[in-house]
Amino acid sequence: MAKKAKSRIINVRLLSMAMTGYFYTFTRARTALPMSMIKYDPIIRRRVLFLEQKRKGK
Amino acid sequence: MAAAATKNIQLALALPTRLRTFLARYPPASILPAGANAETTKTAYQEEAPNPFMPMKHPVTGRWHDPKYSLRRQAELVKMARDHGVEELLPFTNKGTETRLRKRVELGLRVKGTGVGQRVKGHKHERQLAVKMDKRRNAMLEMPNLIREWKKVGKRDWTKFPK
């Protein structure tokens, strides 16, 4: 059986760098660069850096 | 003498049947007839178990046997005897008023884990709370530096991503 084709778009998880475990999810093109942005973390109520989590098993 | 004996008999008859049966089976030395030797005038029950409220090591097999009376029945007998003012006629038991009061003084209304040298275990998230908050605090103290560095490197060239 032929392998299923990988989708062009992937869902990624942007993890708060404040170690609260809070995250945002975004979709991006598989070929694009990993995402990072400054966004609001409601647990500590500040704007902090969010970095894309490395995907497992890929 | 005879009058005193009749009075005692009257008092004994006023006791509940269970208590009376118990005292007949396990009479304390203090209520034996005058002149009787406590060592020789044991009832058959007493021969078997000197204190029916205590576990006993079997003299032959060396195995431990449970008390003749369960803790629940001991407590019932103690309560009954206390109500009739004859508690001192019962053999020693942990359910006795004296032991109970001593324990209460010793332990108070103790909540498990709050005594000396003990600690309340708590839920897992409660046990890990301090570590978690420390991690968060340190991360927040580092945040301005991290953001400065990130801005300097630029998001196109950033390579340090979390696992």
* Angstrom distances, CA of residue B100 to CA of A37, B79, B82: 67, 12, 13
Average pLDDT over residues B80-92: 90
Q: Are residue B7 and residue B87 in the same domain, yes or no?
A: yes
Q: Are residue B7 and residue B80 in the same domain, yes or no?
A: yes
B25, part of any domain: yes
Of A19, A36, A38, the CB nearest to B158: A36
pLDDT at position A22, please?
95
- Tokens for B118, please give them: 């003990």
pLDDT at position B66, please?
93
B142's CB contacts (< 8 A; 6+ apart) are none
Choose from B132, B133, B157, B158 for mutation: most chain A CBs within 10 A.
B158
Angstrom distance (rounded) from CA B71 to CA B44:
22
| Whether A52 and B160 lie within 8 Å, measured CB to CB | no
Q: Are residue B33 and residue B7 in the same domain, yes or no?
A: yes
Q: Which residues of A touch B146 (CB under 8 A)?
A: 17, 49
On whether the CB atoms of residues B79 and B72 are closer than 8 A, the answer is no
Work out the angle between the directed axes of helices B2-14 and B17-25 (0-180°, nearest 10). Answer: 120
The chain-wide mean pLDDT, for chain A, equals: 91
Is the minimum CB–CB distance between B139 and chain A shorter than 8 Å?
yes
DSSP for B148-163, written as a single string: HHHHHH-TTT------
Nearest CA in chain B to A48: B143
CA angle A38, B141, A51 (to 5 degrees): 30
Nearest CA in chain A to B156: A33
Share of chain B above pLDDT 90, in %: 43
CA distance B149 to chain A (A): 11
Amino acid identity for residue A51 in this structure: L
Return the closest-CA partner of residue B88 out of B163, B27, B11, B5. Answer: B27
Domain with residues A10-27+34-52, CATH architecture: Single Sheet (2.20)
Q: Are residue B95 and residue B131 in the same domain, yes or no?
A: no
Q: Are residue B86 and residue B134 in the same domain, yes or no?
A: no
Average pLDDT over residues A28-40: 94
Of A38, A44, A54, the CB nearest to B136: A44
Domain count, chain B: 2
Give residue B116's pLDDT band: very low, low, confident or very high (50, 70, 90). low
CA distance A26 to chain B (A): 16
- pLDDT, tens digit, 9 for 90 and up, residues A13-31: 999 999 999 999 999 999 9
Choose from A35, A36, A56 for mutation: most chain B CBs within 10 A.
A36
| Whether A37 and B163 lie within 8 Å, measured CB to CB | no
**Number of helical H runs and strand E runs in chain B:** 7, 2
Give ipTM to 2 decimals.
0.84
pLDDT at position A17, please?
93
Average pLDDT over residues A3-19: 92
pLDDT at position B163, please?
83
pLDDT at position B129, please?
94
A55's CB contacts (< 8 A; 6+ apart) are A10, A12
B7, part of any domain: yes
pLDDT at position B149, please?
94
| Whether B140 and A54 lie within 8 Å, measured CB to CB | no
The chain-wide mean pLDDT, for chain B, equals: 86
B135's CB contacts (< 8 A; 6+ apart) are A19
pLDDT at position B108, please?
66
| The residue count for chain A | 58
Q: Are residue B86 and residue B144 in the same domain, yes or no?
A: no
Angstrom distance (rounded) from CA A40 to CA A32:
23
- pLDDT, tens digit, 9 for 90 and up, residues B38-74: 677 788 888 888 899 999 999 899 999 999 999 999 9
Q: CB burial class (10 A; 0-12, 13-18, 19+) of residue A17?
A: buried
Domain that holds residue B142: 124-153
pLDDT at position B115, please?
61
